[in-house]
Structure 1
Amino acid sequence: MTNPDTSRTALSDRAERAVHLATRAGRRLGLRADAPRVLHDVFNVLVHLAPDPVVVRVPSLALSDAVEQAARQRYELAVAGWLADTGAPVVRPSPLVPREPVEIDGRSLTFWEFVTEENALGDPAAADPRELEDRFAEQAGWTADLHRLLAGYPGALPTLSPLVPAVGPTLAELRRHPQTLTTADLDRAEREYAALETLVSDLPAYFPGARTQTLHGDSPSYNVLRTAGGHLFSDFEDVTRGPVEWDLTLVGPRGVEAYERASGTPVNRTLLDLMEGARLLQATGALALVPRMPELLPMLEPVVTQWRARPPLTLEGLG
């Protein structure tokens, strides 16, 4: 697991704290952690505990406590570990430490194998749009193979947990501190979340033909590392059960077509559209994290604009 090197740039206070936590936790487990460096700093901070080939994911913005974090992380480690054990193309939990979250100072950390990424995307805003579309269409095709593997996962998982209950606390926090949202925005968001609660409680009643199975949970086409040995899926922290359409949000029409060709099965466009709306609501809820990371606001504003421009999410006419 690797991202562009930020070792020569000034670290945020959040990243400095993550390095401190990761180093202490790593040494507690017998790792050297002599030259830790930050690889990535957004919703999580990724710390490479060099010289050991271990990357620690530190949830720096989480609203939940360590107990809740660890509960989700155990699902992630179980699924990613099972996939790795079967030879699937995924970033493995580190074999140098136990496959368990590590709690330290109110944060729950996970440990992953360090891999070297090649042909990294860099700044998407600076990339050629056609090249970007080609890349994500190809990776959407790879997602079909990942889904075939995940369909065999034997463990139990909650249904669409990145939505319900995860979005609820972010909307509650935004009701207290709205950021850029109006009262009308918040009312709409809460109505949409109530509709999602109903959907998640009985998905077959609304989409009886939906293909439900174990999913990556966080747009796997966007969570792929290209390495010398091939591609690796990463970041299974939102692993869940649900319809395959949840994993296909944001890939665009060409990505959906590539997935259908690779999987040999059609995608339900009505369900996909509903999941797209749910993904935008989830991203809008992330405004609750802006007080912890003000740099998020300009990143999220275009998504909020997209969410406002869509018709409100509703279950009317379904089922």
Structure 2
Amino acid sequence: MTDSVTPSQIARRTSAAVDAAVGAGRDLGLAVTDAVVLHDLFSVVVHLAPSPVVARVPTVLPHCTDLASLAHRQRAELDVTRWLAARGTPVIPPSPLVPREPVQRDGFSMTFWRFVEERREGEPDYEANSESVADLHAAMRDYPGRLSFLSSAEPEFVAESLTLLDKRRDLIGPDDLDRARREWQVLEPLVRSRAAFEEAFPGIDVQPVHGDSPPANIFPGVDGDLYSDFELVTLGPVEWDLAALGPALESAYDRGARRNGMRTLNGDVLGFVNAVGMLRVIACLTLTSQLPSLLGYLEPSIEQWRAMPFAGGVVGRHG
């Protein structure tokens, strides 16, 4: 069994990320006297007060992610959000006070964002959020930059994790791992190749999409809701952004799609993205040594996966 980090080790990791963000911010000319950690899970998000700038420092990453590949992903996020902000789309934009590039320091790669005051009263309205994702998709359709097809599925991470989990039977049993590997044999070609996807799902267009469950990544700002956290922005079917959210939120999205003159969600593609999303959940078991609390979030999804059709029913269409 692989040892997991201890609370004290997590605290040191957080402290190191904060120190790196403060040092990088000061090197860029920001006044930083009171760094405040706003969030600490997969990334340390720190307000570099009194400057109106937030640094986001990824700290829990797949073993196959290095600083170069992380920076490539971060540049895509910065480019997309800068483009959306310039067109009036309500997003948290990159900070205009520093160069809009990832900054590497002390083994971390970080990005800098405009500080937005959070509205703390009330609970998220996920149906309203899901409906508004169609507005985001309408805004993103014309993005002129280059994005990789379904990079947010992280196929290298999934493939590597299914190998690593063979030695982590404390995390997943042999029957579950065997099913996951057989599903990946079906799904991987459609994840890695746009042409294979389009052959399996004729007539389904792809476009720039958020990549990481945008209904759960809408920031409640005091002056209005803002789309945020485009770390996994990608080219793919719109269904990718609604993966595993269920019929009520799918119906809410469809209302927004019809309002925007866009197609509604396709059931077969939803089956595909739901299945791929579940294999990403299983892959995330390999991250629990870095973030032990993650296991409690993953286990309910794995229970749900066991009751789902094999490979989301894709095997009957492309097998």
TM-score normalized by the length of structure 2: 0.88
SS of alignment partner, residue 238 of structure 1: coil
Determine if contact 1:213/1:242 at 8 Å carries over to the other structure: yes
Q: Which whole-Å CA distance do the structure 1 matches of 2:142 and 2:80 have between them?
A: 11
**Unaligned 5+ runs, structure 2:** 1-9
1:203-255 CA distances to partner (integer Å, 9 max, x unpaired)?
A: 11111121310000001111001223221000000000000000112332222
The CA deviation at 1:79 is: 0.8
Q: Residues 167-246 of structure 1 correspond to what in structure 2 (within 5 A)?
A: 167-200=158-191, 201=193, 202-246=196-240
Q: 1:208 to 1:306 in 2, by over 3 A?
A: same
- 2:88 corresponding residue in structure 1: 87
TM-score normalized by the length of structure 1: 0.88
- Quick one: which of 238, 251, 254 aligns to 2:248? 254
The CA deviation at 1:179 is: 4.2
Q: 1:94 to 1:175 in 2, by over 3 A?
A: farther
The CA deviation at 1:110 is: 0.8
Q: 1:76 to 1:170 in 2, by over 3 A?
A: farther
- 2:131 corresponding residue in structure 1: 141
Q: Which whole-Å CA distance do the structure 2 matches of 1:176 and 1:35 have between them?
A: 44
The CA deviation at 1:111 is: 0.8
1:63-91 CA distances to partner (integer Å, 9 max, x unpaired)?
A: 21111110111111111111111111100
Q: 1:165 to 1:55 in 2, by over 3 A?
A: same
SS of alignment partner, residue 93 of structure 2: coil
Q: Which whole-Å CA distance do the structure 2 matches of 1:83 and 1:36 have between them?
A: 28
Determine if contact 2:271/2:314 at 8 Å carries over to the other structure: no
Q: 1:241 to 1:178 in 2, by over 3 A?
A: farther
Q: What is the aligned-residue RMSD (CA, Å)?
A: 1.8
Tell me which moved more, 110-119 or 177-186.
Answer: 177-186
State the identity %. 44
Q: Which whole-Å CA distance do the structure 2 matches of 1:300 and 1:144 have between them?
A: 27
Counterpart amino acid of 2:132?
W
Q: Residues 255-274 of structure 1 correspond to what in structure 2 (within 5 A)?
A: 255-264=249-258, 265-274=263-272
1:25-58 CA distances to partner (integer Å, 9 max, x unpaired)?
A: 1112111221101111111111111111111111
Counterpart amino acid of 1:95?
P
Counterpart amino acid of 2:250?
V
Q: Which whole-Å CA distance do the structure 2 matches of 1:83 and 1:179 have between them?
A: 44
Determine if contact 2:186/2:315 at 8 Å carries over to the other structure: no
